[in-house]
Amino acid sequence: MDREKLIKLLGLNSGIAAADIIAFSPGLGGIVIGASALATAFGITFIFLSGVGLIYGNYKLLTLPEKEIPPTKMTVEDYIEALKIHRGVKTFEETVDLLLDQIGRLQKKNKIIRDMLLQKFSASEISYQKFDAVIDDVEDIFFMNIRSILNKLDAFDEGDYNFIRKKHDDGAFSQKFMEEKFEVYSEYISFVKAATEDNEQILLKLDKLLLEISDLNCIEGGQLEQMAGMIEIDNLIKQAKNYKN
C-alpha cells in the first residue's frame, strides 16, 4: 500500500472516531440514546451515518488502484556502480572490467564528436541538434545492452556453476543432466559475451564516424546524413528500435 493511501485511511478512520467521541461525550455533543425520542433518533442516525461513512470510505480508498511509480532512469554512475558489484564474480571478472572500460571510452568519444561538431555548427543549428539526438540514441542502445548484461549477472549463480563443474568428473549426476546444466550456464556466458561485443561494435562505429568528421574541414548542413559512418549508426538505431517493438 502506498504512503498516500495509508495516510488517507488513517485520516478517514480517525476523523469518524473523533466525530463519534465528540457527539456522544457528555461535555461536548452530549447525545444520550434513550434520554428522549429525539435524542435517540438523532443518536441512531448519527451512528448509522458514521458506519456508512466508515465502510464506504474504506472500501473506496482500498479499491483505488495503486499509483504507478515510473522507474527511475539509471545514470552512468548507476551503471558503473552496478557493474562494480559484480567484480567478485570470477566467471565474468574480465568482462566486467571491459564493460567499465567501454563506458569510459563511449563518454570520451561522444564528447570529442560533439566538440568537433561545435567547431563547425552552433548548438542551436538543426544539423547539430539532429546529430546530438542520434548520439543520445546510440548511448541508449549501448546502456540497454549493459542493462541486459546486468540482468544476466544478477541471475547467474556462480556457486552452483562451480559446484556443477566440480561434480562433472565424479559421476554424481547423469551425463544428460550435466549437459543440460552446462547448457543453461553456457547461455548466460554466451549472452554476456555477445552483448559486450555489440557494445564494442558501437564504439567502432563511433570511431569511423569520428574519423570522417575529423577529415572534413567544412561540413554542409545535409552532409552529415550522407557520411558512411552516420549511415551505419542510423541503421543500428533502426535495428534496435525494431527489436524493442
Q: Which residue has the higher pLDDT, 22 or 151?
A: 151
Cell of 79: 551503471
Q: What are phi and psi of 40, to 5 degrees?
A: -65, -45
User: Looking only at Cα atoms, what is the longest distance across the chain?
Assistant: 100
To 5 degrees, how large is the angle CA 236–CA 130–CA 126? Answer: 160
Q: Give the pLDDT of residue 216.
A: 67
Radius of gyration of the chain (CA): 32
Determine which of 73-82, 121-130, 185-194 has the lowest per-residue pLDDT on average: 121-130
Residue linked to cell 448509522:
48
pLDDT, one tens digit per residue, over 46-87 is: 576 667 666 766 666 666 665 555 556 889 999 999 999 998
Quickly list DSSP for 105-162: HHHHHHHHHHHHHHHHS-TTSHHHHHHHHHHHHHHHHHHHHHHHHHHHHHH--HHHHH
30 sits in which H/E element: none
